[in-house]
Amino acid sequence: MNPNDIIQIGPLALALDRLVAVSLMLTFLTALDWIVRRYRVAAWQSAGLALLAGLVAARAGHVWQYRESYALEPVAALQAWLGGWNWHAGVAAAGLVLIVTLRRRKPVLAGLGVLAGLTLAWAGFLAAGESKSSLRLPQTLTLERVAAETAPLPPWRIGDLRGRPIVLNLWATWCPPCRREMPMLTKAAATERRAEILLVNQGEASAQITAFLRAQGLDPAHVASDPSGLLNEMIGAGALPTTLFIASDGTVRQVHTGEINRVQLDIAIRALERP
């Protein structure tokens, strides 16, 4: 997801892709209701059943596709609200339900036509997002280290980390989802060998950050500070937490807005390893 694909309404941040997906699903339900009435099909909740089957199949297909990642945290398979769908499996399941429930040729063709049209619209939306220009962070960007010791440590410079994948998680102590994901992220930062993970606090003093880490029993080794919030402003995210996945060439490949779990982190890091 591109950072510009977030719609900010006051303190509420909404992902554009989810808004588009919900809009397409509502359009599907409305169009199928019209088809059932138009052709007088005695189908009980055909649209609802097709949508439900599609969502279940899309989620199951995604979990199976990334089964190695879900093995790290099996319960995450049930956290569908955090995202993760295989739309090919979902469309196939929805189409099958339409064929079974609508039965007659004309309503079946009409229903499949609606499904195909909305699928093309979704594919076009995804393709448009992928075609956007890639974001790159300046190599001179420096981040202050946060350490448990009183002696200051040299800052991290983004340019010095170039040559291997980087994950930057933007967070703050006042942010509830940030606080929930911090234990997982600090552990992952200490053990992950495929990418450098830095947890970059936005706009808070080092003393406040250190006090929070100490109270929560979290390792500060991979925690950095961006007291002016420059990084958040630079990428135009606007919401916390936000996680940036940066390829070894310095290109920001993915921006995840909102809480992230261990499975999503692993899937995104695997994607960074692909050319």
Please give the pLDDT value at position 3. Answer: 47
Domain boundary residue, one of 79, 96, 130: 130
Mean of per-residue pLDDT scores for the chain: 86
Q: Is there a single domain that holds both residue 92 and residue 216?
A: no
What are the structure tokens assigned to 224, written together?
Answer: 């950095």
For residue range 46-74, list pLDDT tens digits in order: 889 999 999 999 999 999 999 999 999 99
One domain for residues 145 and 107 = no
Dist CA 144 CA 170 (whole Å): 13
Q: Number of structural domains, the chain?
A: 2
Radius of gyration of the chain (CA): 22
pLDDT at residue number 252: 87
Quick one: 37 and 124 in the same domain? yes
The residue with greater pLDDT, 22 or 148, is 22
Three-class SS of 139-152: CCCEEEECCCCCCC
**Rounded Cα distance, 112 and 165, in Å:** 42
95 and 113, same domain (yes or no): yes
pLDDT digits 0-9 by tens, 227-258: 877 787 777 766 889 999 998 888 888 888 88
- pTM of this prediction exceeds 0.85: no
Q: Which residues contact 39 (CB under 8 A, 6 or more apart)?
A: 102, 104, 106, 107, 110
- CA–CA separation, 18 and 81 (whole Å): 10
Same domain, 92 and 187: no
Cβ proximity of 219 and 246 under 8 Å: no
Instruction: Give which of 148, 173, 147 is closest to 156, Cα–Cα.
Output: 147
Task: Report, as an integer, the average pLDDT of 160-182.
Answer: 90
Q: pLDDT band for position 226 (50/70/90)?
A: confident
Is pLDDT larger for residue 161 or for residue 48? 48
Domain span at residue 20?
A: 3-130
Q: Are residues 268 and 178 in the same domain?
A: yes
Distance of CA 60 to the CA centre of its chain: 17
